[in-house]
């Protein structure tokens, strides 16, 4: 039986996107464990690689060069990625608590959450300083500081902590500021009697010489007592002026670990030789957040990298596949410390080397590590049978998988043909049916609307998918200016054990109920089944006094769009493992954004309105134009696009895009460029499109943006003429 048809029976949850977990994801994708559902929890779609941070600070690498793309790795591993921050573990219930959503259940959990150099106990640190870890926060603050210096701020920096990390980033900052034409004033503050206590005397002397060369000052035997906006106050009553203060003094564990009940050593999870917590065999920990009881290790990324193969093996063993294996750390490791520019000092076994060739060695090691996590081996598609019906090979010729979300829908041609064959409506209480966004029924003094929609899952995060599906299903209700009332869920789960069915349904229904509840609607029931993959949808009713139709647009009206385009292309790109994680995260966030507030702003003014979904902006706009007997002129520069969508459109397209293009042939002047491709891109949970009086458009867009619809824009105007779309 193929692995895809085997039932899921166990939940493995990885908390944190550290180096070890990233390598586990790579290995898991090459050899998954059938029956195990893998989940990665991370607050960000990327994780920085620590080894390249000094080079980035020095200006030798761009920011994205040191980012490990967790979205791509999760797709490679077949894992669901939950973009949220873990805040605790309930070991009795086996649940991971998160900052922004209900808990996630686990059978086995692994921690690779790193450490922080935040000094919360130091007065003024949180307000006026930045920790060196987490690295993403520091890198962002450094970029802003460089802009401030370019605008005239003093290039004064203080680094708290004279260990390897503190000295390395001080050298990098001094080099970058100096190479930009400034005269930096960088000072390292060390509370102990000397800096770099963990290195050999020769290595220490070499690095101190590089500090002198770059003008980095060192103050030992002093400790900070407060941070202000302009300086570091020291315990000897002296004051060190600084426009940027960086904390690099020691490794501090994540504070929420204290409430887990796990055995901790100085706040780090105490683990045995199998990388398991000595308290709970269902909990593993690696990297800087862990303390190996038998052989305590320095906080260095090299150990996390070496732990990864053993962790991968032992996680599989804990899920029922094999026996545990012991991790045996090396007694010493090569320390390559950057010296500001393209140079490094090497330290191992008490030996010291110094020179530019060591930078080339370090650069090669770092590049090899990043290639391993970005050049992911493709998983071959199962071969076709030797004999297939005519047309099968042609249908699969492009090699693209079927898209998810709205990209999996039927084209407009097939749908129109099916609707045309329906008999004319005979009920006198049915006011509108096929062709409108929702069926409209007479209801008391107003009307009741009913619509249904369902989607192939475009993310393995089923709670996120539930939010997107709920927003998508309410789109037709909002597009007609109605208030959502009641929803019925239609859920098909992948084959899984009863325990996982209960967990998954709880995630889906909890997320959906939150979205519907915020709009005043309730889930009244539904239908569930098991199948080959997740299919999720809702039937929704709504109430309105006067529904906003598709017809009604008048020449001169402004066309207002509430969301950016590009979800279909980006999701196709992500399925191909060719997307940039932050772009996908931005698309997910937009799709999950409800539009009730936008509908309430638009409906009182809109003469015509629809939502932009499967047929793309061009297709849905033409529906409005056909209904009103008018044309439209779009402003190409005003049409909002999601980050990365334009570039992605040159490489990938949704599987529904060709049908969308064919459906508007001869009636839209689309250029052969990114915008032309994205105008027929199917949108999942896309924006509302409204024709409003031109004099009201600017104030309306301002109000939409104030409500959180940052991409809202006037994208063109309605003009007289036969229904068609013109650009320019």
pLDDT of 460 strictly over 50: yes
| DSSP category for residue 647 | H
Active site residue 403: no
pLDDT of 4 strictly over 60: no
* Helix-then-strand count for the chain, H and E: 21, 36
> Taking the CB of residue 8, how many other CB atoms lie within 10 A of it?
18
The pLDDT of residue 1 is 41
Using the structure block, give the residue that is written with the tokens 């005519």: 390
At residue 63's C-alpha, the angle toward residues 581 and 642, to 5°, is 40
Q: What are phi and psi of 140, to 5 degrees?
A: -65, -45
The sign of the torsion formed by the CA atoms of 547, 553, 559, 565 equals positive
pLDDT > 90 in the chain, percent: 75
What architecture (CATH level 2) is domain 3-115+253-329?
Answer: 3-Layer(bba) Sandwich (3.50)
Q: Do 358 and 346 form a contact (C-beta atoms < 8 A)? A: yes
Neighbouring C-alpha atoms within 13 Å toward the C-beta of 449: 28
The tokens for 375 are 């050049």
The 10s digit of each residue's pLDDT in 205-215 is 999 999 999 99
The 10s digit of each residue's pLDDT in 187-199 is 999 999 999 988 8
What's the CA gap between 608 and 614, in Å, rounded?
A: 19
The 10s digit of each residue's pLDDT in 615-650 is 999 999 999 999 999 999 999 999 999 999 999 999
The model carries a pTM of: 0.90
Give domain limits for the chain: 3-115+253-329, 116-250+334-375, 437-548, 550-728
Burial label, 587 (beta-carbon count in 10 A; 0-12, 13-18, 19+) = buried
- Candidates 47, 262, 406, 632; catalytic one: 406
The pLDDT of residue 420 is 62
pLDDT of 467 strictly over 60: yes
The mean predicted confidence, pLDDT, of the chain is 91
Helix (H) or strand (E) holding 528: strand 522-531
What's the CA gap between 480 and 546, in Å, rounded?
A: 9
pLDDT of 298 strictly over 90: no
The 10s digit of each residue's pLDDT in 530-585 is 998 899 999 999 999 889 999 999 999 999 999 999 999 999 999 989 999 999 99
Q: Which of 538, 534, 411 is nearest to 474 (CA)?
A: 538
Q: Which of 189, 196, 194, 185 is nearest to 236 (CA)?
A: 189
The pLDDT of residue 316 is 98
The tokens for 682 are 């199917």
The pLDDT of residue 520 is 96
CATH of domain 116-250+334-375: 3.50.50.100
Prior bond of 18 cis (ω within 30°): no
The pLDDT of residue 350 is 75
Q: Give 380's contacts (C-beta < 8 A, 6+ positions apart).
A: none
The confidence band for 355, taking pLDDT boundaries of 50, 70 and 90, is confident
- 437-548 shares its CATH topology with 550-728: no
Average pLDDT over residues 151-172: 94
Whole-angstrom CA distances from 412 to 262, 441, 476, 531, 660 are: 57, 25, 17, 26, 7
What's the CA gap between 213 and 170, in Å, rounded?
A: 12
The confidence band for 319, taking pLDDT boundaries of 50, 70 and 90, is very high
The tokens for 618 are 């061009």
What's the CA gap between 625 and 679, in Å, rounded?
A: 15
What's the CA gap between 368 and 374, in Å, rounded?
A: 10
Write the secondary structure of 625-656 as one string of H (helix), E (strand) and C (coil). Answer: HHHHCCEEEECHHHCCECCCHHHHHCCCCCCC
The sign of the torsion formed by the CA atoms of 385, 388, 392, 397 equals positive
The pLDDT of residue 2 is 45
Q: Which residues pair with 13 in a beta bridge?
A: 39, 109
| DSSP category for residue 552 | -
Q: Which of 494, 658, 633 is nearest to 568 (CA)?
A: 658
What's the CA gap between 693 and 715, in Å, rounded?
A: 14
Q: Which residue has the higher pLDDT, 65 or 382?
A: 65
Q: How far is CA 168 from the centre of its chain?
A: 30
The 10s digit of each residue's pLDDT in 402-441 is 666 655 566 666 556 666 666 666 677 777 655 566 788 8
The 10s digit of each residue's pLDDT in 327-354 is 998 777 778 899 998 999 988 877 788 8
pLDDT > 70 in the chain, percent: 92
The 10s digit of each residue's pLDDT in 65-75 is 999 999 999 99
Torsion, Cα 72 73 76 77, to 10 degrees, reads -150
Whole-angstrom CA distances from 110 to 33, 94, 298, 313 are: 16, 12, 20, 13
Q: Which of 251, 66, 37, 84 is nearest to 143 (CA)?
A: 66
Q: Do 570 and 579 form a contact (C-beta atoms < 8 A)? A: yes
Whole-angstrom CA distances from 601 to 136, 201, 546, 625 are: 37, 69, 15, 22
Fold of 437-548: 60s Ribosomal Protein L30; Chain: A; (3.30.1330)
Q: Do 522 and 516 form a contact (C-beta atoms < 8 A)? A: yes
The pLDDT of residue 393 is 76
The tokens for 684 are 């999942």
* Lowest pLDDT segment from 161-175, 350-364, 580-594: 350-364
Q: Do 146 and 59 form a contact (C-beta atoms < 8 A)? A: no
Helix, strand, coil percent content, the chain, rounded in steps of 5: 35, 25, 40
CATH of domain 550-728: 3.90.650.10
Burial label, 256 (beta-carbon count in 10 A; 0-12, 13-18, 19+) = middle
What's the CA gap between 436 and 476, in Å, rounded?
A: 9
The tokens for 310 are 């053993």
């Amino acid at each position: 039986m193929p692995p895809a048809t085997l039932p899921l029976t166990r939940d493995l949850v990885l908390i944190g996107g550290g180096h070890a977990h990233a390598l586990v994801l790579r290995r898991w994708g090459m050899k998954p464990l059938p029956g195990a559902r893998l989940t990665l929890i991370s607050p960000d779609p990327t994780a920085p690689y620590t080894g390249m941070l000094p080079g980035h600070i020095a200006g030798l690498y761009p920011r994205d060069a040191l980012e490990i793309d967790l979205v791509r790795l999760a797709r490679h591993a077949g894992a669901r990625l939950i973009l949220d921050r873990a805040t605790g573990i309930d070991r009795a219930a086996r649940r991971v608590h998160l900052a922004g959503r209900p808990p996630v259940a686990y059978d086995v959990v692994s921690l690779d959450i790193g450490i922080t150099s935040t000094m919360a106990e130091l007065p003024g640190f949180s307000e006026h300083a930045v920790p060196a870890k987490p690295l993403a926060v520091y890198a962002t603050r450094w970029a802003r500081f460089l802009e401030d210096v370019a605008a005239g701020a003093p290039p004064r920096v203080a680094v708290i902590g004279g260990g390897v990390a503190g000295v390395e980033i001080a050298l990098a900052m001094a080099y970058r500021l100096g190479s930009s034409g400034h005269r930096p004033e960088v000072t390292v503050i060390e509370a102990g009697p000397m800096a770099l206590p963990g290195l050999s005397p020769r290595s220490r002397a070499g690095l101190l010489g590089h500090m002198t060369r770059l003008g980095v000052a060192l103050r030992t035997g002093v400790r900070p007592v407060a941070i202000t906006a302009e300086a570091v106050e020291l315990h000897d009553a002296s004051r060190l002026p600084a426009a940027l203060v960086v904390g690099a003094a020691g490794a501090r564990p994540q504070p929420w670990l204290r409430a887990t009940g796990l055995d901790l050593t100085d706040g780090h999870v105490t683990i045995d030789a199998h990388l398991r917590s000595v308290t709970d065999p269902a909990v593993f920990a690696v990297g800087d957040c862990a303390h190996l009881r038998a052989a305590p290790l320095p906080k260095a990324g090299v150990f996390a990298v070496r732990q990864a193969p053993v962790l991968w093996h032992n996680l599989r063993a804990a899920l029922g596949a094999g026996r545990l294996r012991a991790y045996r750390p090396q007694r010493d490791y090569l320390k390559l410390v950057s010296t500001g520019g393209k140079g490094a000092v090497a330290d191992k076994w008490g030996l010291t080397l110094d020179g530019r060739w060591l930078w080339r060695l370090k650069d090669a090691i770092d590049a090899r590590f990043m290639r391993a996590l970005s050049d992911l081996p493709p998983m071959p598609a199962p071969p076709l049978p030797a004999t297939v019906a005519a047309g099968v090979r042609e249908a699969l010729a492009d090699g693209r998988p079927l898209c998810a979300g709205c990209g999996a829908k039927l084209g407009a041609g097939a749908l129109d043909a099916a609707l045309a064959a329906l008999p004319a409506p005979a009920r006198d209480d049915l006011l509108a049916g096929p062709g409108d966004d929702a069926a409209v029924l007479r209801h008391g003094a107003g009307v009741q609307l009913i619509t249904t929609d369902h989607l192939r899952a475009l993310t393995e995060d089923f709670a996120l998918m539930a939010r997107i599906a709920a927003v998508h299903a309410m789109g037709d209700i909002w597009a007609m200016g109605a208030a959502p009332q009641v929803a019925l869920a239609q859920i098909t789960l992948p084959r899984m054990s009863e325990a996982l069915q209960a967990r998954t349904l709880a995630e889906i229904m909890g997320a959906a109920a939150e979205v519907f509840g915020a709009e005043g609607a309730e889930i009244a029931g539904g239908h569930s089944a098991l199948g080959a993959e997740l299919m999720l949808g809702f039937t929704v009713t709504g109430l309105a006094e006067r529904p906003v139709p598709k017809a009604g647009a008048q020449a001169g009206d402004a066309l207002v769009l509430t969301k950016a385009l590009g979800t279909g292309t980006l999701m196709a790109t992500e399925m191909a493992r060719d997307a940039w994680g932050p772009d996908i995260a931005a698309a997910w966030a937009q799709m999950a954004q409800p539009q009730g507030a936008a509908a309430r702003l638009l409906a009182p003014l809109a003469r015509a309105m629809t939502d932009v979904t499967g047929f793309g902006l061009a297709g849905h706009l033409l529906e409005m134009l056909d209904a009103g007997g008018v044309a439209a002129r779009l402003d190409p520069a005003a049409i909002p696009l999601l980050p990365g969508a334009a570039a992605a459109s040159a490489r990938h397209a949704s599987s529904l895009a060709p049908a969308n293009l064919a459906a508007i042939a001869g009636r839209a002047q689309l250029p052969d460029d990114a915008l032309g491709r994205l105008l027929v891109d199917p949108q999942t949970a896309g924006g509302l499109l409204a024709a409003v009086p031109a004099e009201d458009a600017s104030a309306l867009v301002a109000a939409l943006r104030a409500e959180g619809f940052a991409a809202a824009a006037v994208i063109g105007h309605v003009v007289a003429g036969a229904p068609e779309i013109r650009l320019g």
